[in-house]
Amino acid sequence: MSSASGVNNGDGKEAALFEQRLSKIGEVRAALGQLSGKAALYCSDASIARYLVARNWEVKKATKMLKKTLKWRSEYKPDEIRWDEIANEAATGKIYRTDYFDKSGRSILVMRPGVQNTKKAKGQIRYLVYCMENAILNLPHDQSQMVWLIDFAGFSLSNISLHVTKLTADVLQGHYPERLGVAILYNAPKFFESFWKIASPILEPKTFNKVKFVYPDRPETNKIMEDLFNMEELESAFGGKNQATFNINDYAARMREDDIKMPLFWSPENTALASEPYVMVNKDMAQEGSSGLKSEETASEKREETDTESENREETESESERAEIDSVSGKREETVAVSDKREEKETESENGKAAVTSSNGVELTSLPGEGKGITPAD
């Protein structure tokens, strides 16, 4: 692909930057060595670039991150999860892909933590991964990101789990970098603010800045919805005009149809997947030379230090989660740190059961984030 095809306007600075980044993509590819099968399909220029973006275009760090994802995908086999395996997790509509896109053509995952219907983190994360893979499967050819719409209707303290939040962050940031375009936290309750203060450090700065709080009684935040979505299509629960509600039977039929498509998507015949090019957009130029890179690198490095430990975690809900909830309700934040350490020790001791994720954290089904200029309700 020529540089002209990847640059929005062809001035010399952009062309030089684009060529520099293509060179770094090539360095990562060389460091990965000979790939075959699904790994070769996965490592398109566009895919490698997402890992480089996540690590501020540092080749060694991006390579390390990508190698971990390839290992995770070979063991966890996210593209082989099928509807019948996770259907029980989907019964209440706690996560589902809408049948419409946002104005940019991005897939939309609706998340309703208030209708959580299972207790085991392992199953919850596996269903999240299924939904992520399905959202990617249905992206238009010119789009690579998705939107998370998190509805807090019916949400209570019992729905809060810092443990699951960490696991969700691990999966999203560690294995789906730059796949999240924006996360909307819609009408979060007042008590959520305490949990957010504890959980938000889990998010890397790039992810944190993609999270926006929206409240139906605050016009300045409602404009976010109008800018992102066609209000005729958007569900009424989010201020739109679409009165449709989640129907498990209809959704199951859609997902089974997509299950048939998934093996074709990962077939060697799907040359478009392996050859997806890197395309530089205007925001790449804006980010070049921006401040704050040091803090982003520090946050990433701290998460990398815990990779080995998190790869051996087996998720279980325990009494220590109740201590986390007590902390969120304002009793004492220090208790959360203690109980979280205790929980990790308990899960690590479960005799080498397969890890659900590796560790490079970000968002959750029950974790929303705070966007620039938007604060939780007073």
Q: What is the CATH number of the domain that holds 133?
A: 3.40.525.10
Angstrom distance (rounded) from CA 293 to CA 213: 24
Mean pLDDT of the region 33-39: 96
Mean pLDDT of the region 361-368: 35
The predicted pLDDT at position 89 comes to 98
Same structural domain for residues 118 and 253?
A: yes
In a domain, 313, yes or no: no
Complete DSSP assignment for 289-302? T-TTHHHHHHHHHH
Q: Phi and psi at residue 84, in whole multiples of 5°?
A: -65, -25
Choose between 197 and 367: higher pLDDT.
Answer: 197
The predicted pLDDT at position 284 comes to 56
Same structural domain for residues 235 and 256?
A: yes
Judge contact between 265 and 137, C-beta under 8 A: yes
Judge contact between 196 and 370, C-beta under 8 A: yes
Query: What is the residue type of 197?
Result: K
Complete DSSP assignment for 326-344? HHHTTS-THHHHHHHHHHH
Same structural domain for residues 191 and 46?
A: no
Q: Phi and psi at residue 108, in whole multiples of 5°?
A: -125, 125
Same structural domain for residues 65 and 118?
A: no
Same structural domain for residues 218 and 123?
A: yes
pTM for the whole structure: 0.78
Same structural domain for residues 38 and 186?
A: no
In a domain, 378, yes or no: no
Q: Are strands 180-186 and 146-151 parallel, antiparallel or unpaired?
A: parallel
Which residue is it, tokens 């790939």? 35
The pLDDT tens digits of the residues spanning 39-71 come to 999 999 999 999 999 999 999 999 999 999 999
How many structural domains are present in the chain?
2
Residue 364 binned pLDDT confidence (cut-offs 50, 70, 90): very low
Angstrom distance (rounded) from CA 12 to CA 188: 46
Domain boundaries, position 244: 89-262
End residue of a domain, out of 245, 262, 279: 262
Q: Phi and psi at residue 305, in whole multiples of 5°?
A: -65, -25
